[in-house]
Every structure is written in structure tokens, then in C-alpha cells.
Amino acid sequence: MRAAGELTTALVTGACSGIGLAFATELAALGYTLVLVSNRADALAEVATDLAQRHGIATHPLVMDLARAEAATTLAAELERRGLEVDILVNNAGMLLFGEVAETDPDRAMALLQLHVVTPTLLARHLGARMRARRRGHLLFVSSISAWNDFPGIALYGSSKRYLKSFAAALRSELAVWGVNVTTVAPGATATDLYAGTKVDLALALRLGVMLTPEAVARAGLKAMFARRALVVPGLMAKLFAWGMGATPRWLIDLLRRRAPWLPRPTRRPRA
């Protein structure tokens, strides 16, 4: 899979757990020098040390809150200061918000938009420009099957993932003529810490194929990226869900919203 003598360094955001950790582990096994970015200092140091020891690679843990407005510019400057040229950028860091927009903490909403929209866009701008100058490199964006339609309860999350899918498609056209590849991986439900403390039976979901492991998602994403594919939806069930979500008419979504027990509903009309 690896192009010998060309690509040597990969940067993974959100590299401490879940899909990000799986991406980092797969790339470490392929011999890439890793730049690992997360806001969790202790976990990041542990992952960096473990991957370096197990795979005999160099790792560069960078503790940074990617939900801050200046994160992409600060990260790009730090890479230049260290003399690191990134050949593969995995824009993976993310968070989930569920609930109505009107009830969402504005700071949490801002963090999600910075993390899903602003930071990956500006990282792609900074690092994509350097890849373009070298005429090689890969940009990998982690979107979601929630990008296939617009659903209440995940308005912020879903629309931000739709943005990533759309942005990556346009960026792919821009950079392809310069020899730089852009790929989007859109996972369905994935067995990560996101479900910790919930009633979801992860073992059953994995056996039924409703969920995939982070490792399966990462392998599918990297395989598609190295094959220079535009988009991959890992797993048969996720493909079926994506198709079904995309085919769901607006009237049905609105009907489900009016009857959904998991979202608030008014008990009476406000007075005029």
C-alpha cells in the first residue's frame, strides 16, 4: 500500500481513541512517522510511546485543542517549526451532539463547528498547499452516513458531516491535477467510547453487523485512500443505512419528529 521513497509522515487528529487511534495504529504498522494530535495529554503520550515501541517508528505527540479558532494555524506553524512535512493528513477529530439546536449550549455548538468545519478546512488549506507544491500527498476526511440526509436531533452534527463530505469532493477536484488525493470515509455506527455508559449492547451490534470496529473503519478508509478513491462507506449495513437515509422523504422525517419520544415536544400552545 505504501509508496516507497515518497510518503513518510502522517498526521492524525483525535488520535487517542476510537477511529483516530485505529488510523494511527494502522499507519504505524505501515512504518509511517506519526504526528498525533489530541487535547488529552496523558492519553496522547501513552499512545505515542506505545506505537513507537511496538512499531519502531518516530512519533510526535502534539497536545492541542482543535476546537479553538486558531488551532489550524497554530498546528501548521508548529509543524514548520519542527521541520515536519506531512504527507498524509487524517482529519478525524470529532464530537457528537444530540438534541434540539434551541437547547444546545452555545459553547458546545461552537466547539463542534470549529472541530468539524473550521479546523479541518484550514488544516487542508495549510497542508494541502504544501502537498500541492510537492505534487504528492493524501487528505483523508472522516464524515458520516448522517451526511446523506438532514435529521432533527443531530442538526449540528449531521450538517457539519455533510459539509465535510461536500468540501472534500470539491477539494478533490482542485488538487487532483496537482497529484494530491482527497478521500472521504463515511462510517456508520462504530463501536467506540461514544457508547460508554449507554444501554447499547456493543457485542450484539458487532455480531449482527450493525456496527463496525474502529479498526475495520480505519482499514477501509486507508485502503480507499491509497487507491485514490473519492468516497468509501465501510460495511454492508452502513451502505444500506446510507441508502435508506438518503431515500427518506422530508415528510416522513417531519412526521417522525412530531412523534419522537427522544426529543422534547410542547404540551400546549403558547398564549398569543
Q: What is the pLDDT of residues 63-76, one digit of tens each?
A: 999 999 999 999 99
**pTM (predicted TM-score):** 0.90
Of the candidates 187, 176, 96, 97, the one whose C-alpha atom is nearest the C-alpha of residue 131 is 176
Question: In the structure, what pLDDT confidence band is assigned to residue 96 with cuts at 50, 70 and 90?
Answer: confident
CA distance 113 to 263: 22
Q: Which domains does the chain have, with CATH numbers?
A: 9-259 (3.40.50.720)
Could you tell me the pLDDT band of residue 265, with boundaries at 50, 70 and 90?
confident
Read off the pLDDT of residues 129-157 as tens digits, 9 standing for 90 and up.
Answer: 999 999 999 999 999 999 999 999 999 99
Residues labelled as active-site residues = 157
Burial of 4 (0-12, 13-18, 19+ CB in 10 A): exposed
- Residue 107: the pLDDT is 96
For cell 478525524, name the residue. 92
Average pLDDT over residues 117-131: 98
Average pLDDT over residues 115-128: 98
